Structure 1
Amino acid sequence: MYGGAPGWKFDYYSYEAYRRKYQDDIREVPRVTLMSLDQEELNRYVELLKRGKQRLATLDNESIYELMSIKRGEKVTLSATLLFSPYPQAYFPQLCITAIVIPGRTIGSLGDMGERFSDNQRIEGTIPEMLDEALLFVKRNMRTKTIISPTTGRRTDRTDYPITAVREAIINALVHRDYSIHTEGMPIQLIMFEDRIEIHNPGGLYGRITIDQLGKIQPDTRNPVLASALETLGIIENRYSGIPTIRMEMEKYNLRQPEFLDERGSFIVKLYKESKNDYEDMSNDEETNNLIVFCKTPRTRKEICDYLGLNSVTYAIQTYVNPLVEAGVIKLSIPDKPKSPKQLYYSGEREK
């Protein structure tokens, strides 16, 4: 999508890593010492281990550090660095998430002021911190609709995407990305388009599993120590339920099923916000119904943008108005010139 992709050396390494069972999540990080880790978080993790694993309860902390791959000899491991360092990006600047919002449906789309990104953030910190920050980024860049049930009249608030599905997609990327030296210069990419979210995860699929088998069979685990630690910390279940959960949550929202792609050394998840029946959902949306009423008087782009309380005219028209135009609910005053600066948008019959 943007940025580079691993080359043939990575392809060869990835094959060998699986065949020989390399564990990049516990490779040593020379510059990190045990004392440079967040001692409070490290101690909390050890206490959770002792409470949850009876065989560890009587061991001293040093023994647990070695046994659970927090360190190897005198060197701290990559997993421990990503979980307990005050700032892991001091050692691995690109083991982060780059998050952007595109004002359109393709990379290169520009906003009203010529901006390439409506929002742009480099998300850093430990894995739990990056997960939380990434979710906040998504939440602030999607709308919440009030849906009115046509049968009961009950009002419920609903975001563009199910948060549980978004969370699973992000944590899957953080846990299952490739952490070898071949991809440590590549961040996870979180891209929000007008119609979808894409998450690009360096490394591609691991082991024998294929795209068609995702969520149907137990996959090989690329980073088993990291996954186990995150399970202990209560961040993940580590029961291979991520992909099925994403699919079920999208189904509950009546949205298109997610797309999963494995290409050029990258695993990509695409979550679409279009419904299986867009107009049926729109007709039950209070905000949409209010907009239709507002447009009973022909309105300019700017008037609609101001009414919706948005800053971007392009975003307002593409996200809120165009779906209603396609459904035939809102009409154009100059239909043969849809981009005319004199264009007006109206619902119902236009007054002569």
Structure 2
Amino acid sequence: MTSEELYEKLNQIQLMKCESQIVELKSAEKGCPTRLYDTLSSFSNQDEGGVIYFGIDEKNNYKEVGVYDPQDIQKKINEQCLQMEPKVRPLLTVVEKNGKYFVSAEIPGVDLTERPCFYQGKGRVKGAYTRVGDSDEPMTEYEVYSYEAYRKKYQDDIRGVSRVSLTSLNQQLLETYINALKDGKPNFSGMNTEAIYDLMSIKRNDEITLSATIVFSPYPQAYFPQLCITAIVVPGNEIGDLGENGERFLDNQRIEGNIADMLNGAIRFVKKNMRTRTIINPETGMRDDRTDYPITAIREAVINALVHRDYSIHTEGMPIQILMFDNRIEIHNPGGLYGRIRIDQLGKVQPDTRNLVLASELEVLGITENRYSGIPTIRKELEKYHLISPEFLEERGNFVVKFYKEAKEKIEQTEDENNLVLFCRTPRTRKEICDYLGLTSTTYAIQKHIMPLVEAGQIKMSIPDKPKSPKQLYYSE
């Protein structure tokens, strides 16, 4: 940054009086801090990097104390940066303010393939840090591993499982899969079965793979007890809330089986514990049973968790979790985002795939499309239900999806809609509304213009139990 920008940043710090995800403050009034490596590491390990400001005493109400020697501190900062792996190349800026000198060190984020950036003196595992709010926290062993797994393209979904035999798999399902693979592929169809097993990673080094186990085994939990889904219903909005009789959970289930079994079991659990509202179409008289959340969105979120969770040895003891609260539903998926994709890019760019073979097997079996359409589908389904947008979070090796029951606020009611509501202050027939709108079809007028206002509660029906009654009137209050 320029000296003018640094001067302005110092003023902003005095207004905000706090550190942040990308701001770290150091006093340096009496010397250069001797332990910068935790912040150098954490800033280097996030895309946006960060800035360390020297000359501000955080413990003394953010007093501007200045640095002891602007020349020497730059040298000492560079010396510590050279002790990092990969080496950190800071951009240093000096400014004078009120007779005192201040220094900023801009720390760029290193490329994903070079992470984690760590302090050489403590090694890759103990010397790597991540930024959590305004704090530098040691990386977990799994967080360090996840970078290595991406960099070296580990395929944890096809690691061998020594205890599983070919005969323990569902032979009918396996045959269905092989036949689907052969369809339309004459060269492939001519291969013998054993060769196909090796080629398609059913087997690897004479061992059944993990992906084959969790897709084709009738009960994969015999080998991996925690590769399941745990689902609970909480009587409140937070874990720890109790029901009327002191119960912690209104429902509590362990959902097991292969991928297809767990998907179906999860949907059954959510359906059982959701309310269902009945909406009557006033024109057709047909009833539409609407659940708290769209089932299609729930299915996409669960299948995403099953397909894209981390299947490494670091997370095989962690189940997928479904938590149903009064105001929301959460789906927790072991393993953070994989590769370069960020939360704000979900559903907008094609992501890296963590479990390529597993995703391909489920695509062939028709369980998932594997076309990266899950997130857009979730958003569209919630939009149809007039619910607020889903929330996606990455919580240090755990990916979370949240759906809320809260209805999406109507951003702005158009002038025509306002006028129609005012027109219906006097109860109106279908024909009167049709004539007012200048339309020829009463069905179109009601479905297109009135029903959205009925669903929004702006307009009501005089005979709601008999929506097709010729005496039906529409009115607003």
- In the superposition, the TM-score normalised over structure 1's length comes to 0.76
Shift of 1:243: 0.4
Shift of 1:155: 3.4
- Compare CA radii of gyration and give the structure with the larger one: 2
* Cα distance per residue 1:277-313 (max 9 Å; x no partner): 5997585999xx99xxxxxxxxxxxxxxxxxxxxxxx
| Superposition RMSD in Å | 2.3
Quick one: distance in 2 between partners of 1:20 and 1:150? 59
Tell me if 1:274 matches 2:413: no
Count matched residues. Answer: 283
Say whether 1:58 aligns with 2:58: no
Contact 1:145 1:285 in 2 (8 A): no
Could you tell me how far apart the structure 1 residues matched to 2:144 and 2:460 are? 51
The verdict on how the C-alpha distance between 1:149 and 1:86 changes in structure 2, with shifts beyond 3 A counting, is: closer
Whole-Å separation in 1 of the counterparts to 2:291 and 2:257: 26
* Residue of structure 1 equivalent to 2:313: 181
The alignment status of 1:157 with 2:285, answered yes or no, reads no
Percent pairwise identity: 68
**Candidates 22, 25, 34, aligned match of 2:157:** 25
Q: 1:102 to 1:54 in 2, by over 3 A?
A: farther
| Cα pair distance change 1:94/1:186, threshold 3 Å | same
Shift of 1:149: 4.6
SS at match of 1:156: strand
Is the 2:454–2:460 Cα contact (8 Å) retained in structure 1?
no
- What is aligned with 1:36? 168
Q: Equivalents in 2 of 1:49, 1:146: separation in Å?
A: 43
Is the 8 Å Cα contact of residues 98 and 190 (structure 1) preserved in structure 2? yes
- Specify the SS of the correspondent of 1:11: helix
TM-superposed deviation, 1:191: 0.5
Secondary structure of 1:200 counterpart: strand
In the TM superposition, what whole-angstrom CA distance separates every residue of 1:248-274 from its partner, at most 9, and x where no partner exists?
100011111000001121000001122
Q: Return the alpha-carbon distance in structure 1 between the equivalents of residues 330 and 186 of structure 2.
A: 41
**More displaced 10-residue stretch of structure 1: 199-208 or 49-58:** 49-58
Match of 1:69 among 201, 222, 227: 201
The reply to whether residue 123 of structure 1 matches residue 249 of structure 2 is no
Matched position secondary structure for 1:76? strand
Query: Take 2:186 and 2:301, find their aligned partners in 1: how far apart are those partners?
Result: 32
Q: Which residue does 2:280 correspond to in 1? A: 148
Secondary structure at the residue paired with 2:183? helix
8 Å Cα contact 1:247/1:257 also seen in 2: yes
* Structure 2 residue 353 is matched with structure 1 residue 221: yes
Task: Quote how far apart the aligned CAs of 1:119 are.
Answer: 0.4
The structure-2 alpha-carbon separation of the partners of 1:146 and 1:75, relative to structure 1 and needing over 3 Å to count, comes to same
Q: Identify the range of structure 1 (175-184 vs 273-282) with the bigger mean alpha-carbon deviation.
A: 273-282
Q: By how many angstroms is 1:52 displaced?
A: 5.1
Structure 2 residue aligned with 1:206: 338
Give the superposition deviation at 1:154.
5.2
Structure 1 residue 20: deviation in Å?
0.5
Is contact 2:278–2:289 with CA below 8 Å preserved after alignment? Answer: yes
**1:114 alignment partner in structure 2:** 246
- Deviations 1:308-328 (Å, cap 9, x if unpaired)? xxxxxxxxxxxxxxxxxxxxx
Letter in 2 for 1:89: Q
Task: Verify: 1:255 aligned to 2:387, yes or no.
Answer: yes
Mapped partners of 1:155, 1:282: distance in 2? 17
Write the distance in 2 (CA, Å) between the matches of 1:54 and 1:249: 40
Counterpart in the other structure of 2:178: 46
Q: Using the TM superposition, give the Cα deviation of residue 153 of structure 1 relative to its aligned residue in structure 2, in angstroms.
A: 6.2
Per the alignment, residue 323 of structure 1 pairs with: none
Structure 2 counterpart SS, 1:255: coil
1:238 aligns with 2:370: yes
Match of 2:266 among 122, 128, 134: 134
* Structure 2, unpaired ranges of 5+: 1-137, 411-452, 466-477
Residue 109 of structure 1: SS of its match in structure 2? coil
The one of 308, 325, 328 equivalent to 1:193 is 325
Shift of 1:228: 0.2
Distance 2:259 2:341 in 1: 25
Residue 299 of structure 1: aligned partner: none
Paired position in structure 2 for 1:102: 234
Q: Which residue of 1 aligns with 2:211?
A: 79
The Cα of 1:18 is off from its aligned counterpart by 0.3
Q: Indicate the SS of the match to 2:333.
A: strand
> Distance in 2 between the 1:282 and 1:197 partners?
23
Structure 2 partner of 1:349: none
In 2: Cα distance, 1:191 partner to 1:282 partner: 29
Which SS does the other structure have where 1:264 is aligned? Answer: coil
Deviation at 1:73, TM superposition (A): 2.6
Q: Could you give the per-residue CA deviations for residues 141-160 of structure 1, whole angstroms, max 9, x where no partner exists?
A: 00111113577765321111
**What is the rounded CA distance, in whole Å, between the counterparts of 2:184 and 2:308 in structure 1?**
24
Secondary structure at the counterpart of residue 247 of structure 1: helix
Indicate if the aligned counterparts of 2:297 and 2:382 stay in contact, CA closer than 8 A.
yes
Cα distance between partner residues in 2 of 1:52 and 1:72: 25
- Distance in 2, Cα, partners of 1:53 & 1:159: 43
Local SS of the residue matching 1:125 = coil
String of CA shifts for 1:72-127, please: whole Å, max 9, x gaps.
13100000000111210011000000000001111111111100000000000000
Structure 2 Cα separation of the partners of residues 149 and 56 of structure 1: 52
CA contact (8 A) 1:259 1:271 kept: yes
Per-residue CA distance 1:135-192 (angstroms, 9 max, x = gap): 0000000011111357776532111110000000000000000000000000000011
